[in-house]
């Protein structure tokens, strides 16, 4: 009997303690960890920041109140950056529109479906507010469009993030900061990108605190918070002298490592892999990017090594051309990083041979972006009268008459789509030409310590003052935009016909315009990779420059605009970069460190 009474008293005491605990939590306006709904808390945070952003935009009045408007814009922009990690994760299209550069948006599906849209959003507001010419009507219209889109997002926000979504959110924001945030990519006039990066890191701290219940390891939770705080401290720096090399090595990569530990701590199961590997631990790691995410044929990886070897044989076989005198390897020579070292291959070609190294990491192919896959690009080469000049069905017939090719194709591909199988084999080989083992890669990932001060300085200039990385995005250093890698950008930079800075005339090649005859796309070309650039001279689509020094000088002058070529839609900033000779030499020194060892 006494034992029963004791047990009842014990239960009663426990109930009173629990009630007191809940009451105390209510008084402190904090829920016990076990009762927190993380989606609700994230939604609350998201909508609060979003509402503040809208309010600050609504406070901007008239172009004659520059000082007041500057402060309101800066506050609105920082609030937008505070929601960036979440918005980019739950609504990529709206995030992209709201953060788009002040450049015409051109979508070309086919000749009957060409859409040209004026951009809106924060970068456009920034240029209208602080640019040389005030346009109050355009400013009001842009602010109105931006506010209305933000209000629509606020109204319809439904946040339901599973654990793997949260890991992707964190990883993408860490990579976004390192590849576009610290470069000034989306702060074109005010140049407050480092402050904005601090804001996004504070959001990662806030989200981590909300997600505290998911952590089994207190040590890991604390380490992640501390790492984000360290990044905020490191970013408290002026733009031009900021050490981006050290930031990536000591902050970005450490956070990617921690994130892999977090997903193990949470026991996350990923349904698939996107462009960035689920196990990425270094921005410049050889396995950081998932090459198959850049292909339309993601699942065709059975017997991949053998398919790659078959593709290499076909790549080097001259039977693929009509006159048996040309193979893929004829123009794409391994020792020249799969280029040919010529201005153009012969008198019939009008464009410089591009490198095939890292070509797999793009969403469009050929310099004018006319093909959507490596497999499709091979068809273009086959049909070109100045290249293979032999239709794919004829190429396949030749290949099948060669016994060892027929046996390999039958054993590796089981199916009857022989034309596709041939193209896939060659494309599979090209997807292997990405070793990520340059001097720079080895140093920034900690495998070596051999970079000179000039080479590190060159990287920091490339990623900062020189603005190279706002088009050539690390770690690929091409125009495929991280962290989603869904778009490969095309640019009009005003490349001249001849190496002439006195009486310069733009190249006669109209580039993308030849595809759909869109006036706003004249002289647009795809942004190529800078990797292995030491091996791929001459440079530009027409091979007009023979040295890297000439290329850097062209950009330093402000592209075409800087040498007297006036193109309305030039996407390269017109400004002279004011790089000293020493700085220009450092950038060249850095680019030479991107030559692969293999």
pLDDT at 18: 41
- In degrees, rounded to 5, the angle at the alpha carbon of residue 552 between the alpha carbons of residues 551 and 556 is 120
> Could you report the per-residue pLDDT of 173-188, keeping only the tens digit for each?
999 999 999 999 998 8
Answer whether residue 192 shows pLDDT above 50.
Answer: yes
Residue 23 has a pLDDT of 42
DSSP 8-class letter at 250: I
Cα–Cα distance between 278 and 282 in angstroms, integer? Answer: 12
- Which has the higher per-residue pLDDT, 17 or 385? 385
Query: Closest Cα to residue 361, out of 483, 251, 267?
Result: 483
In 344-357, which positions are buried (b, 16+ CB within 10 angstroms) versus exposed (e)?
Answer: bbeeebebbbbbbb
pLDDT digits (tens, 9 = 90+) for 478-505: 999 999 999 999 999 999 999 999 999 9
Look over the chain and give the mean of its residue pLDDT values, rounded to a whole number: 91
Q: Regarding the domain with residue range 39-282, which homologous superfamily does it belong to in the CATH classification?
A: M75 peptidase, HXXE motif (1.20.1420.20)
Q: Tell me, what's the pLDDT at 113?
A: 81
Tokens coding 41: 């808390």
Question: Model confidence over 429-484: pLDDT tens digits?
Answer: 999 999 999 999 999 999 999 999 999 999 999 999 999 999 999 999 999 999 99
Rounded Cα–Cα distance for residues 593 and 513 (Å): 35
**Structure tokens belonging to residue 523:** 């002289």
pLDDT at res. 70 = 87
pLDDT > 80? residue 32: no
Say yes or no to pLDDT of 3 above 50: no
pLDDT of residue 115: 85
CB of 561 closer than 8 Å to CB of 497: no
Each residue's pLDDT tens digit, 398-411 = 999 999 999 999 99
CATH architecture type of domain 302-430: Orthogonal Bundle (1.10)
Greater model confidence, 515 or 111: 515
Question: How confident is the model over 548-560, as a mean pLDDT?
Answer: 97
The per-residue pLDDT for range 72-94, each reduced to its tens digit, is: 999 999 999 999 999 999 999 99
Token readout for 106 is 């051109």
452-592: in CATH 3.40.50.20: no
| pLDDT tens figures, 268-301 | 999 999 999 999 999 999 999 999 998 876 557 7
What's the pLDDT tens digit per position in 304-353?
999 999 999 999 999 999 999 999 999 999 999 999 999 988 888 899 99
CA distances from 505 to 3, 491, 502, 512 (A): 100, 18, 9, 18
Residue 196 backbone zone (phi > 0: left; psi -120 to 50: alpha; other: beta): alpha
Task: Please work out, in degrees rounded to the nearest 5, the angle formed at the alpha carbon of residue 489 by the alpha carbons of 355 and 376.
Answer: 55
Taking Cα atoms as reference points, which of 148, 165, 164, 166 lies closest to residue 156?
Answer: 148
Cβ(343)–Cβ(538) below 8 Å: yes
Nearest Cα to Cα of residue 314 among 412, 391, 422: 422
* Whole-number pLDDT of residue 414: 83
CA–CA dist 86, 253 (Å, integer): 21
> For residues 47 and 54, what is the distance between their CA atoms, to the nearest angstrom?
10
State pTM to two decimals: 0.91
- Using CB atoms within 10 A of its CB, is residue 380 exposed (0-12), middle (13-18) or buried (19+)? middle
Kindly report, residue by residue over 362-380, the tens digit of the pLDDT. 999 999 999 999 999 999 9
């Amino acid at each position: 009997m006494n034992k029963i009474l004791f047990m009842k008293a014990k239960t009663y005491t426990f109930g009173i303690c629990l009630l007191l605990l809940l009451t105390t939590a209510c008084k402190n306006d904090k829920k016990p960890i076990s009762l927190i709904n993380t989606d609700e808390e994230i939604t609350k945070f998201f909508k609060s920041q979003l509402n503040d952003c809208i309010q600050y935009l609504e406070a901007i009045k008239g172009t004659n109140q520059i000082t007041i408007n500057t402060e309101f814009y800066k506050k609105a922009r920082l609030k937008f950056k505070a929601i960036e990690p979440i918005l980019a994760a739950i609504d990529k299209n709206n995030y992209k529109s709201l953060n788009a550069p002040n450049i015409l948006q051109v979508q070309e599906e086919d000749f009957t479906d060409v859409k040209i849209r004026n951009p809106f959003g924060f970068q456009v507001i920034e240029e209208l507010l602080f640019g040389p010419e005030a346009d109050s009507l355009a400013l009001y219209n842009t602010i109105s469009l931006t506010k209305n889109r933000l209000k629509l997002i606020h109204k319809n926000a439904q946040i339901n993030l599973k654990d793997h979504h949260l890991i992707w959110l964190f990883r993408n924001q860490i990579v976004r900061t390192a590849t576009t945030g610290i470069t000034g990519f989306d702060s074109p006039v005010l140049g407050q990108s480092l402050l904005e990066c601090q804001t996004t890191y504070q959001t990662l701290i806030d989200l981590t605190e909300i997600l505290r219940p998911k952590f089994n390891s207190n040590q890991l939770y604390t380490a992640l918070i501390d790492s984000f705080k360290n990044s905020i401290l490191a970013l408290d720096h002026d733009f031009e002298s900021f050490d981006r090399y050290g930031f990536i090595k000591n902050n970005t990569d450490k956070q990617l490592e921690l994130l892999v530990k977090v997903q193990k701590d949470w026991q996350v199961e990923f349904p698939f892999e996107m462009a960035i590997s689920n196990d990425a631990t270094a921005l410049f790691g050889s396995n950081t990017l998932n090459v198959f995410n850049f292909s339309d044929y993601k699942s065709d990886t059975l017997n991949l090594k053998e398919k790659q070897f078959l593709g290499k044989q076909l790549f080097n076989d001259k039977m693929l051309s009509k006159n048996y005198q040309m193979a893929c390897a004829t123009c794409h020579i391994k020792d020249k990083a799969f280029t040919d070292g010529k201005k153009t291959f012969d008198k019939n070609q009008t464009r410089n041979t591009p490198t095939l190294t890292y070509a797999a990491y793009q969403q469009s192919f050929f310099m004018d972006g006319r093909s959507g896959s490596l497999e499709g690009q091979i068809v273009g080469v086959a049909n070109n009268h100045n290249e293979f000049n032999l239709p794919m069905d004829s190429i396949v017939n030749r290949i099948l008459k060669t016994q060892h090719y027929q046996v390999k194709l039958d054993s590796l591909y089981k199916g009857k789509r022989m034309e596709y199988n041939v193209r896939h084999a060659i494309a599979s080989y090209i997807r292997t030409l990405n070793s990520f083992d340059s001097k720079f890669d080895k140093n920034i990932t900690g495998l070596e310590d051999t970079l000179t001060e000039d080479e590190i300085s060159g990287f920091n200039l490339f990623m900062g003052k020189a603005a190279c990385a706002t088009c050539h995005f690390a770690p690929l250093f091409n125009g495929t935009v991280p962290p989603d890698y869904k778009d490969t950008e095309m640019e009009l930079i005003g490349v001249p016909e001849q190496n002439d800075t006195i009486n310069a005339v733009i190249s006669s090649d109209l580039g993308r315009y030849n595809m759909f005859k869109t006036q706003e796309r004249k002289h647009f070309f795809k942004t190529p990779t800078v990797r292995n650039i030491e091996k791929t001279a001459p440079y530009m689509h027409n091979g007009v420059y023979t040295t890297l020094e000439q290329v850097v000088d062209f950009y330093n002058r402000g592209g075409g605009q800087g040498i007297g070529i006036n193109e309305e839609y030039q996407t390269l900033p017109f400004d002279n970069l004011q790089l000293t000779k020493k700085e220009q030499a450092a950038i060249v020194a850095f680019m030479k460190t991107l030559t692969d060892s293999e």
